[in-house]
Amino acid sequence: MLPPTLPTTPAMELTLDEAAQGVLRRHHVQVLGAGRPLLFCNGFNCTQQVWHYLAPMLAGHYQLIFFDQMGVGKSEYATYDPPRYATLAGYAQDVVAICQALQLCEVVLVGHSAGATVAMLAAIQAPDRITTTVLLNMSPYFLNEPGYYGGFERADLLQVLAEMHANYVQWASTFATMLVGQSAAPVLSHELVTYATQVHPALAAQVVEQAFLGDFRPLLPQVRVPTLLLQCHDDPAVPEEASAYLLAHLPCATLVTLAASGHAPHLTNPAEVAAAINAFLAGGSAVQPMRSPEAA
């Protein structure tokens, strides 16, 4: 659950037509507060609860909107449409549908990892509604190629995916520990495992493969909205070269390298993430990295 001191409003309680209520029910949409809308797009196979450390730090300034992607958490898997979710573009269509259902404008779309890729795709689909993106630990392409460093050789990445297919829960546990970093509190890797295993097994591996094997570099010039890129030190999944590539190829991007390490700064150092988002949305020209707890 998100913090009890920050009660969300079930989308069904809002005054919406039946079609809009159906969209929001399918994704267990929750709304918190008022102000400019921040819509959070979870990382691979994570539920909306993954934002619960960050939410209190932003709730006083913005309207926060959370949802579960299809097949994850409390989403309605009975409405799963295989052709729609054959690519990450289908998940981006869901984000746009949520914006339409809530009649949102001037949306800041905050995405993490594969969710950041989904956020980018949604911004391309609906620039009239999504006017800013915040992309945490995003890679446009995970594989190494001549002239491009994504961090993984194809053979190594295929081995990672084979291990995932063999035993997803065990793989998720090992992978989560790696992503948050060995120096992070064990409870954080346990949390990430908990979120990443609340997913329908038919979709878990499919989403990871779409993210790891997809090449989204050709789409970068189509992202015309201001974008904040947040990169961590020693991210085991996204090297700094990948963020540098994003900075060079996104038309309106700002890159902030956080003091936090690992792949999940919204878990390990939410205060630093909140400060970077606030400074960017306030029009700050520079964001000073904060010292991460594990560096203390």
Q: What is the pLDDT of residue 296?
A: 30
CA gap 102, 42 in Å, rounded = 19
Residue from 235, 243, 261, 266 carrying the catalytic annotation: 235
Q: Encoding tokens for residue 60?
A: 């006083």
Mean pLDDT value of segment 61-75: 94
Cα(26)–Cα(76) distance, integer angstroms: 5
Share of the chain above pLDDT 70, in %: 88
The C-alpha atoms of residue 215 and residue 245 are separated, in whole angstroms, by: 13
Is residue 113 annotated as a catalytic residue, yes or no?
A: yes
Cα of first residue to Cα of last residue in the chain, in angstroms, is: 29
Answer whether 0.85 is exceeded by the pTM.
Answer: yes
Residue in 94, 263, 266, 292 annotated catalytic: 263
For residue 44, is pLDDT > 90? no
pLDDT averaged over every residue in the chain: 88
Query: Once rounded to an integer, what is the mean pLDDT over residues 95-107?
Result: 97
Nearest CA to 191 out of 1, 2, 50 is that of 50
Tokens of 76: 């309605």
182-210 pLDDT, tens digit per residue, is 566 667 767 877 777 777 766 878 888 99
How confident is the model at residue 199, as a pLDDT? 79
Cα–Cα distance, 234 to 269 (Å, whole number): 14
CA gap 280, 274 in Å, rounded: 10
According to DSSP, residue 6 is labeled: S
Residue 152 DSSP class:
B
Report, as an integer, the average pLDDT of 127-144.
Answer: 97
**Are 36 and 165 spatial neighbours (Cβ–Cβ below 8 Å)?**
no
Can you tell me the mean pLDDT for 7-14?
A: 65
| CA 2/CA 54 separation, integer angstroms | 10
Q: Which two tokens stand for residue 106?
A: 């001037």
Band the pLDDT of 14: cuts 50, 70, 90: low
| The pLDDT of residue 287 is above 60 | no
Q: How confident is the model at residue 291 (pLDDT cuts 50, 70, 90)?
A: very low
Residue 235 among the catalytic residues: yes
Check pLDDT > 60 for residue 64: yes
The one catalytic residue in 94, 112, 113, 266 is 113
| Mean pLDDT value across residues 211-230 | 97
Percent of the chain with pLDDT over 90: 69
The answer to whether 281 and 35 are in contact (CB under 8 A) is no
Catalogue the E-assigned strands of the chain.
9-10, 30-32, 36-41, 62-66, 107-112, 130-136, 227-233, 253-261
146: which 2 tokens?
């001549």
Query: Using an 8 Å Cβ cutoff, are 37 and 104 in contact?
Result: yes
Identify the H or E element spanning 100.
Answer: helix 88-101
240 pLDDT more than 50: yes
203: how many CB neighbours lie within 10 A of its CB? 19
CA distances from 204 to 34, 169, 172, 196, 219 (A): 33, 10, 10, 8, 24
| Averaged pLDDT for residues 38-57 | 93
Give phi and psi for 215, each to the nearest 5: -105, 105
Tell me, yes or no, if 156 is annotated catalytic.
no
The three-class DSSP label of residue 37 is strand
Beta bridge partners of 211: none
Domains, the chain = 9-295 (3.40.50.1820)
The pLDDT of residue 191: 81
Give the per-residue pLDDT at 169: 80
Strand order in the sheet with 9-10: 9-10, 30-32, 62-66, 36-41, 107-112, 130-136, 227-233, 253-261
The pLDDT, as a whole number, for residue 265 is: 94
